[in-house]
Amino acid sequence: MRQPWRSSFKVVGSSIGARLKWRSNTKGVHVGEGRLDLLVGGVLVVELKAVDTLLPVHKAQLLSYLKTLKRPLGLLINFKVQALRQGIQRVILSQ
């Protein structure tokens, strides 16, 4: 499947990964796995949604990804809004 947005990120010099799988292990025991929508620059986790309303569970999901992957910053983006800026939430993992 062609992903035209990937080339636009390469132009500005950022690395981007899409639909990345990860596994969570604790003391060598597999405890879970997941799939990221986007990982930008190895730092920014982006979770994409298309829902009527973003719910607390959506933010909790992103926070869980940030904790598990030890990343500090995430964006929760909902495309089912009139103006895209209304559907963007920044999520910061506080230590």
Question: CB neighbours (10 Å) of residue 81?
Answer: 16
Query: Rounded CA gap, 7 and 29, in Å?
Result: 38
pLDDT, one tens digit for every residue, the chain (95 residues) = 455 544 444 545 556 666 666 676 667 776 677 788 888 888 899 999 999 999 999 999 999 889 988 999 999 999 999 999 999 999 999 87
For 49, list phi and psi in degrees, rounded to 5. Answer: -135, 160
Give the architecture (CATH level 2) of 4-23+31-92. Answer: Alpha-Beta Complex (3.90)
- Indicate the DSSP class of residue 53: S
Q: Where are the domains of the chain?
A: 4-23+31-92
- CA distances to 30, 31, 32, 33, 69 from 27, in Å: 9, 10, 13, 15, 16
